[in-house]
Chain A
Amino acid sequence: MRRTGKAFLIVAPLAAGAAVAATRRRRGAGSASRGHHVVTVYRQLSELEGAALPGSLKEIADGAEVTMRAAPGDRGTEIAVRIPDGSRVTDAEVRRALRDTRSLLEAGDVLLPSGPPSTVPTALNRPLQTATRHGREGGLS
């Protein structure tokens, strides 16, 4: 079998699984609906209340509602962002902002990818390169 065909057959079941997961999420079943995202940051609420929002979360705060509450079991603080109707803030921007915020508050830094890259673009890896360019903006958070 040619490599292209083999690669497709390898990707297909994983992609199908991801599609099932995404569909399940869109149907709700208790998960976050579009326009609402939340992460838990391992810092006490008392440390964050009154402090300035870090980095990219501050940048989107004018177009989104940010709320914080203590997570149960000493797990830190739940930071939730809701995008109001009519806001220009996107889900991707919120996901990135929340992930960056968690990294900044916990690790003091946002990990950057390896560099300079050693890869070369091919027809096969173009979808993966697109996915990784948006690697902090997609997903379920």
Chain B
Amino acid sequence: MKALQWQGVNKLAVGTVPDPELRNPGDVIVKVTHTVTCGSDLHLLGGYIPFMEKGDVLGHEFLGEVIEVGPDVRRHRTGDRVVVSSFISCGKCWYCDQKLYSLCDNGNTNPAITETMWGHAPSGCFGYSHAMGGNAGSHAEYIRVPFADVGAFTVPEAVSSERALFASDSASTGWMGADLGGVQPGDVVAVWGAGAVGQMAARAAVLLGADRVIVIDRLDERLQQVERHIGAETLNYERTDVAGELRDRSGGRGPDVCIEAVGMEAHSTGIQFGYDQLKQQLRLQTDRPIAVRDAIHACRKGGSVFVLGVYAGFVDKFPLGALMNKGLTVRGAQMHGQRYIPMLLDRMATGELTTEHLATHMLPLDRAPEGYRMFKEKKDGCVRAVFIP
């Protein structure tokens, strides 16, 4: 079958790979109809997560049709249109029972790598390096989905594939940031990053009753999407003193909840960006934590900071003093998609949550390298490139 393969740092190509096989009795094979780029893929592409092998298939946010079913699968049959959580979870361990699905004990076939790096291993993810299980990704004609009864969800007829696609990861991740960040009615919420995840976090905060939701980015076309489709306020950090503006918009208190949806390749203005980029390029730190620093600094006393952006290792100049003395709660997670996808599909069906505007570019899989180039360089207003295999 055809698939988009990682061929080396900043090198992608569409090639021919073996068709996937049922390996466990709870697996299904899905014919991928929609699969989309994610900002976190850029960390793999750029070599910042050094656990890729030449030939690995990328992609973790997808939707398709079940074409083959393992003998233990109960909830799905061939022909089902399903959206699949990007993290692979057994549904039976203690973590799954707590609805912390991305922490599943049984979904990562290579736990030794992350256990050694981080002390414990999170679950596996599709198309996201051998540290996350080495699972083949979704930028392909077909994909094997393990634990399908837990991680694949039938899409209601009322929801289009173009909308449901983003329940797979972006909408789940964003909702998790607002939910586990503790957004309450009346809160002021600030979101760093107006990509798909940041927009979905902002929309979740709006729907959870936040009084003001403010999204921060430097790309005007994304901020315009926020105003048009999300119903939140915006700040362009290249033209605004973000910290001062957030204080002003929260009566001097600072946002109650700050959600970081940027990740390890954050941009910024001024000396801070130069410092972090130099240290990252010299590999004196693995990640650029600019947005996390800003969120911790801006957050109100006793507030909550949720880290949605992907980080791999170590950062410098982490504002531990602000965290401690302001009594902040800082939390982060890979996404617990299985916890949110059914609810998100319901909200998509009612029209409360729309996502089609995120798919600024639809391309055949053959043009996926071009799609990633546009996405990485933010060309032509690209927010997300969707590939049709």
* Number of B residues with CB within 8 Å of any CB on chain A: 62
Q: Are A111 and B314 CB-contacts (below 8 A) given A120-B54, A138-B116?
A: no
Closest to B8 in A: A3
List CB contacts (< 8 Å) of B89-113 with chain A. Answer: 90-94, 97, 105-113
Chain B residues with Cβ below 8 Å from A75 are 94
Query: Which candidate, A46-54, A57-65, A122-130, is the interface stretch facing chain B?
Result: A122-130
Q: Are B106 and A120 in contact (CB under 8 A)?
A: no
Q: Cα distance A108–B56 when bound, in Å?
A: 28
Chain A residues with Cβ below 8 Å from B106 are 102-103, 106-107, 110-111
Chain A residues with Cβ below 8 Å from B18 are 115-118
Query: Which candidate, B43-51, B213-221, B227-235, B238-246, is the interface stretch facing chain A?
Result: B43-51
Q: Are B116 and A22 in contact (CB under 8 A)?
A: yes
Is residue B252 contacting chain A, with contact meaning CB distance below 8 A?
Answer: no
Is residue A140 contacting chain B, with contact meaning CB distance below 8 A?
Answer: yes
Q: Are A138 and B112 in contact (CB under 8 A)?
A: yes
Chain B residues with Cβ below 8 Å from A125 are 52-54
Q: Cα distance A11–B312 when bound, in Å?
A: 11
List CB contacts (< 8 Å) of B25-60 with chain A. Answer: 25-26, 47-48, 50-57
Is residue B121 contacting chain A, with contact meaning CB distance below 8 A?
Answer: yes
Q: Are B283 and A114 in contact (CB under 8 A)?
A: no
Is residue B354 contacting chain A, with contact meaning CB distance below 8 A?
Answer: no
Could you say which of A111, A129, A139 contacts B115, with CB atoms under 8 Å apart? A139
Q: Are B50 and A139 in contact (CB under 8 A)?
A: no
Residue among B20, B72, B107, B283 with max Cβ neighbours from chain A (10 Å): B283
Q: Cα distance A12–B312 when bound, in Å?
A: 13
Q: Are A10 and B116 in contact (CB under 8 A)?
A: no
Q: Are B51 and A128 in contact (CB under 8 A)?
A: yes
Is residue A32 contacting chain B, with contact meaning CB distance below 8 A?
Answer: no
Q: Cα distance A9–B133 when bound, in Å?
A: 23
Is residue B211 contacting chain A, with contact meaning CB distance below 8 A?
Answer: no
Q: Cα distance A141–B114 when bound, in Å?
A: 12
Q: Cα distance A95–B111 when bound, in Å?
A: 11
- The distance from the CB of A77 to the nearest CB of chain B, in whole angstroms, is 11
Q: Are B23 and A13 in contact (CB under 8 A)?
A: no
Chain A residues with Cβ below 8 Å from B17 are 118
Q: Are A112 and B54 in contact (CB under 8 A)?
A: no
List CB contacts (< 8 Å) of A34-51 with chain B. Answer: 40, 42
Chain A residues with Cβ below 8 Å from B93 are 42, 102, 106-107
Is residue A132 contacting chain B, with contact meaning CB distance below 8 A?
Answer: yes
List CB contacts (< 8 Å) of A91-117 with chain B. Answer: 95, 99, 102-103, 106-117
Is residue B130 contacting chain A, with contact meaning CB distance below 8 A?
Answer: yes
Chain A residues with Cβ below 8 Å from B108 are 111
Q: Cα distance A96–B47 when bound, in Å?
A: 29
Q: Cα distance A117–B5 when bound, in Å?
A: 12
Is residue B268 contacting chain A, with contact meaning CB distance below 8 A?
Answer: no
Residue among B3, B9, B56, B109 with max Cβ neighbours from chain A (10 Å): B109
Is residue B185 contacting chain A, with contact meaning CB distance below 8 A?
Answer: no
List CB contacts (< 8 Å) of B53-83 with chain A. Answer: 53-57, 72
Chain B residues with Cβ below 8 Å from A11 are 50
Q: Cα distance A7–B10 when bound, in Å?
A: 12
Q: Are A114 and B144 in contact (CB under 8 A)?
A: yes
Is residue A69 contacting chain B, with contact meaning CB distance below 8 A?
Answer: no
Q: Are A111 and B107 in contact (CB under 8 A)?
A: yes
Chain A residues with Cβ below 8 Å from B56 are 118-119
Could you say which of A114, A120, A122 contacts B134, with CB atoms under 8 Å apart? A114
Q: Cα distance A37–B25 when bound, in Å?
A: 29
Q: Are A109 and B24 in contact (CB under 8 A)?
A: yes
Is residue A84 contacting chain B, with contact meaning CB distance below 8 A?
Answer: no
Q: Are B119 and A112 in contact (CB under 8 A)?
A: no
Q: Are A135 and B283 CB-contacts (below 8 A) given A7-B9, A17-B313, A107-B93?
A: no
Q: Are A7 and B54 in contact (CB under 8 A)?
A: no
Q: Cα distance A42–B92 when bound, in Å?
A: 8
Is residue B389 contacting chain A, with contact meaning CB distance below 8 A?
Answer: no
Chain B residues with Cβ below 8 Å from A128 are 51, 53, 130
Q: Are A107 and B134 in contact (CB under 8 A)?
A: no
Q: 15 A–B contact pairs at CB < 8 A?
A: A17-B313, A76-B94, A102-B105, A106-B92, A111-B124, A112-B24, A118-B5, A118-B18, A118-B56, A129-B53, A135-B112, A138-B113, A139-B111, A139-B115, A139-B116
